């Protein structure tokens, strides 16, 4: 797997297709290869080159010891863009990846041509703060939950009621989560990234055109929090995809891909 050295670590990345490059930034505890299930094939078919990578803490990228910060991952991604001479680049990010893209657009506008921000937020409300605190407490306790428990927890947090109530569909997802190592130690450092700071004021400085894509049944970054990002960024529109949860780009890939590509083509 090719890699670059940036911000004192090695980041692994992959290229798919040829054409104008699009940087894909994945969410927490997940590898860049998740994009290859649906998004990179659609982008390649449209004539783009998709570049995916693994954030620090996800092998084969380096897994430095200790607790990571948002600034760490933003600096890593900035270094990758510069090392691959991509600036200004089109970016697609989801969840933590969208927050990284937002920070790049705030702090380094010369690096970002436009950005698609999926399952994003500009702050955390009370229940999301409590959820993050609870997850960190579990990590810090050293307790390792069985894979079966992690699979069910991940499914109920990340998927829509429609998927959860479909026996065939949810069985496939549970099997996937059981084998993906949901409690993977390699992502330990990512658990400490603070994503709840209110960035609405800072987002008003963003000059790049953006599109927020929210998923109607997302309980991690619900539509009302995603809409605040679209409201804050001056040149930003908002798309809400029905019938899917935090993994909406996997549950409803056709709709998500259409919204991504329509925006990228425009900018």
- 187, 96 in Cβ contact below 8 A? no
Q: Residue 264 has which token pair?
A: 């990228």
Among residues 95, 124, 160, 187, the one annotated as catalytic is 95
What is the DSSP track for 98-154?
HHHHHHHHHH-GGGEEEEEEES--SS--HHHHHHHHHHHHHHHHT----HHHHHHHH
Q: b/e map of 168-194 (b: 16 or more CB within 10 Å)?
A: eebeebbeebbebebbbebbbbbbbbe
Q: Is 95 a catalytic residue?
A: yes
Note the Cα 121 to chain centre separation in Å.
11
53 forms bridges with which residues in the sheet? Answer: 13
Among residues 72, 76, 187, 246, the one annotated as catalytic is 246
Q: Report the distance separating Cα 263 and Cα 91, nearest Å.
A: 11
Residues with a catalytic annotation lie at 95, 218, 246
């Amino acid at each position: 797997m090719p890699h670059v050295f940036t911000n004192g670590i090695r980041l692994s990345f992959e290229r798919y297709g040829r054409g104008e490059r699009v940087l894909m930034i994945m969410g927490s505890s997940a590898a860049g290869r998740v994009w290859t299930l649906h998004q990179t094939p659609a982008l390649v078919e449209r004539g783009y080159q998709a570049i995916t990578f693994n954030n620090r803490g996800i092998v084969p990228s380096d897994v430095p010891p200790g607790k990571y910060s948002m600034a760490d991952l933003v600096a890593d991604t900035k270094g990758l863009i510069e090392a691959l001479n991509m600036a200004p680049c089109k970016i697609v990010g989801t969840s933590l990846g969208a927050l990284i893209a937002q920070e790049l657009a705030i702090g380094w506008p010369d690096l970002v041509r436009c950005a698609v921000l999926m399952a994003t937020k500009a702050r955390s409300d009370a229940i999301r703060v409590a959820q993050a605190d609870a997850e960190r407490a579990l990590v810090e306790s050293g307790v390792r939950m069985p894979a079966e428990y992690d699979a069910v927890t991940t499914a109920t947090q990340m998927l829509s009621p429609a998927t959860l109530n479909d026996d065939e569909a949810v069985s496939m997802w549970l099997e996937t989560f059981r084998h993906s190592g949901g409690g993977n130690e390699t992502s330990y450092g990512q658990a400490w990234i603070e994503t709840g700071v209110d960035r609405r004021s800072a987002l008003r400085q963003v000059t790049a055109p953006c599109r927020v894509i929210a998923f109607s049944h997302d309980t991690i970054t619900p539509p009302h929090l995603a809409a605040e990002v679209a409201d804050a960024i001056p040149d930003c529109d908002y798309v809400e995809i029905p019938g899917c949860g935090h993994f909406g780009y996997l549950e409803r890939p056709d709709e998500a891909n259409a919204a991504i590509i329509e925006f990228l083509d425009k900018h």
